[in-house]
Amino acid sequence: MQDIKNILLVEDEPSMSRLISFKLEKENFKVDVAADGEKALQKFLDETISYDAIILDLMLPILDGMQVLKKIREENKEIPVLVLSAKSQKKDVLDGLNKGADDYLTKPFRPEELTLRLKKLLGES
């Protein structure tokens, strides 16, 4: 049996976070949700919780996803970050990858693809 991986899901749309959480929990992930950039950073910097990966939306309230990504990379260069965003233009994807995302998946997406990409980032595939 594999270890349960802790995932920080940063998504402000409740129906999207429920769908992603449901799919990931079925795959034996533990999901912690933050609905805005500020809460995401608070959770990420909380030393009592250790995350194995982050799924990060870019269009967020308070702090946008790029600001969150920048702060995460200042603190931790190793944690896998998968950007999940409706921003699908080539320049958006390249910008996300250049600023430290390990992978970039555009919405709409197939939940199975998200799960596979996450597992690959975690070295499980």
Quick check: helix, strand or coil at residue 78? coil
The CATH number of 5-121, from 3.90.930.12, 3.40.50.2300, 3.40.50.1000, 3.40.50.150, is 3.40.50.2300
Report which of residues 98 and 1 the model is more confident about. 98
pLDDT of 1 above 70: no
Q: Mean pLDDT across the stretch 93-118?
A: 96
Quick check: helix, strand or coil at residue 114? helix
**pLDDT, tens only, 84-95:** 999 999 999 999
**pLDDT, tens only, 2-52:** 688 999 999 999 999 999 999 999 999 999 999 999 999 999 999 888 999
What's residue 64's pLDDT?
94
Rounded to the nearest angstrom, the gap between the alpha carbon of residue 84 and the centroid of all alpha carbons in its chain is 7
- Residues 44, 8: contact at Cβ < 8 Å? yes
What's residue 87's pLDDT?
93
> Where do the structural domains in the chain lie, given as residue ranges?
5-121
- How many other CB atoms sit within 10 Å of the CB of residue 12? 19
